[in-house]
Amino acid sequence: MSDNPRDVVRGGYDELGPRYLEWTLRVDPIHRVTYQALALDLVEPGSTVVELGCGPGVPTGQLVAEQHRYVGVDLSVSQLAQARSNIASARLVRADMSHVAFRPGSVDAVLAFYSLIHVPREDHARTIDAVHRWLRPGGSFALNLSAGDNPGGTDGWIDDVKMFWSGFDAATNVGLVRDAGFEILRDEVLTNFEDDEEVRFVWILARKGHSPSSGSPPDRPAMK
C-alpha cells in the first residue's frame, strides 16, 4: 500500500468495511450527537447539510436525513456503500474532503466529526476556509479536531489496520476556525475512551456571519 496519507486512509476504511461501524457504535461517546444537534438547531428544517467523512452514515447521516437534505462526502467505496444502504435519501459524493467543492453559499450546515484528523494538517486551514465559502450567511459548522500537536503519522488501529492522523493543539485549531471568518459559539476539549484508551479532541461549534450583500442560496449544493 502507498504511504500517501490519503491512500492510507482510503485503504484503511475500505479494509475495515462494516467493522468500523461495529467499533464506533461501541466506543463513540455522546459528543458527536450533541454537536450535531447544536449545529442543526441553527438552521431550518429542510436545510442542506454536508457531512465531511460520512463513513457508513450512522449515526450522523441517519439523524440528519430525518429532517434535512443530507450530503455525505467520503473517500472510501466501502463506507459509502454502507451509507447508501443506511440512508436511502442521501446524496453521496466520493471525494477527498480537502479538495471537494460546492458552490459558494449553497450549504446550510457542515459537520466534520473524526474526519479532518485524517487529513494532513497543512491542508486544514484551506479546508476550513472552503467550508466557510460553501456556507450561506448564518450557516453552522460543527467539527472536532485533535487536542494535541501531531505533525502526522500512521499507526495500527482497529484490528491493527493501518491509519493516518494529523493535527494541531486545541488552541491552534480553534484559531484556524476563527481565522477562516467564523464566529466561535462553543469550544471545549472532551475525552473519549477507545478500547480503554483515553483520547482527547477539541469540539467546536461555529457560525458564518451574515453579510448584507449575500444573495439567497440555491436549493441544493452544486459541485463546482
The Cα 207–Cα 48 span in angstroms is 15
**pLDDT, mean over the chain:** 94
Question: What pLDDT score does 76 carry?
Answer: 98
Give this prediction's pTM.
0.93
Q: Where are the domains of the chain?
A: 5-208
pLDDT of residue 140: 98
Kindly report, residue by residue over 142-186, the tens digit of the pLDDT: 999 999 999 999 999 999 999 999 999 999 999 999 999 999 999
DSSP 8-state symbol, 119: S
Contact 134, 107 (CB under 8 A): yes
Read off the pLDDT of residues 7-18 as tens digits, 9 standing for 90 and up: 999 999 999 999
**Does residue 208 contact residue 138 with C-beta atoms inside 8 Å?**
yes
Question: Could you tell me which residues come within 8 angstroms of residue 224 by beta carbon, excluding any fewer than 6 positions away?
Answer: 101, 102, 103
Cell of 224: 463546482
Distances (CA, A) of 103 to 107, 131, 218: 8, 10, 9
Pick the CATH number of 5-208 from 3.40.50.150, 3.40.50.300, 3.40.50.620, 3.40.50.720: 3.40.50.150
Per-residue pLDDT band for 196 (boundaries 50, 70, 90) equals confident
Residue 2 backbone phi and psi in degrees, to 5 = -65, 150
Q: Is the pLDDT of residue 220 over 60?
A: no
Supply 222's cell numbers: 452544486
Predicted pLDDT at 221: 59
